[in-house]
Amino acid sequence: MAETQIISDTPINTYQLKKELEKIKKRDGELNFRANRTEEHISQIATLKNADELFDKLMKLNIPRLKEQHIHKIIDINPTTLNELKSLLQGYTITINNDSMKKIVDAVNEFLEKK
């Protein structure tokens, strides 16, 4: 068995993972068992069409202490209320004020309505 080498450690969301699996499938012709199971799962939960647009929109908000990994998680979960966003961010050691959280929720809701 080949030794696995980590090239980079970059957070991605499920939509980017779906694109990467499609590239691998196109390159190799088929996916291995684990990748097939992952693709099946992602196809059931990944419903946004342009997640990259939402990522850009959230990045442009320039919210202090909000990192790329947090934005990817927000895109995966799509919190539509402040309580959902608070619950999501409780898993991280991050504090964001209510005004900034309101901006995030408004951006997500606006994007989901546009969808």
The per-residue pLDDT for range 28-47, each reduced to its tens digit, is: 999 899 999 999 988 888 77
Total domains in the fold of the chain = 2
Does some domain include residue 57? yes
pLDDT-derived band at 88, boundaries 50, 70, 90: very high
Does some domain include residue 82? yes
pLDDT-derived band at 72, boundaries 50, 70, 90: very high
Q: Could you report the per-residue pLDDT of 2-33, keeping only the tens digit for each? A: 788 888 888 888 888 989 999 999 999 998 99
Higher pLDDT, 6 or 73: 73
Q: Assess whether 36 and 70 both reside in one domain.
A: no
Task: Look up the domain containing 32 and give its range.
Answer: 14-45
Question: What's the average model confidence in pLDDT over 46-60?
Answer: 87
CA 95 – CA 101 distance, rounded (Å):
10
Closest CA to 66 of 45, 82, 85: 85
Does some domain include residue 3? no
**Residue 51: what pLDDT?**
87
Closest CA to 63 of 81, 85, 35, 45: 85
Tokens for 19, please give them: 């694109």
Q: Assess whether 39 and 84 both reside in one domain.
A: no
pLDDT-derived band at 79, boundaries 50, 70, 90: very high
Does some domain include residue 1? no
Does some domain include residue 91? yes
Does some domain include residue 74? yes
Does some domain include residue 2? no
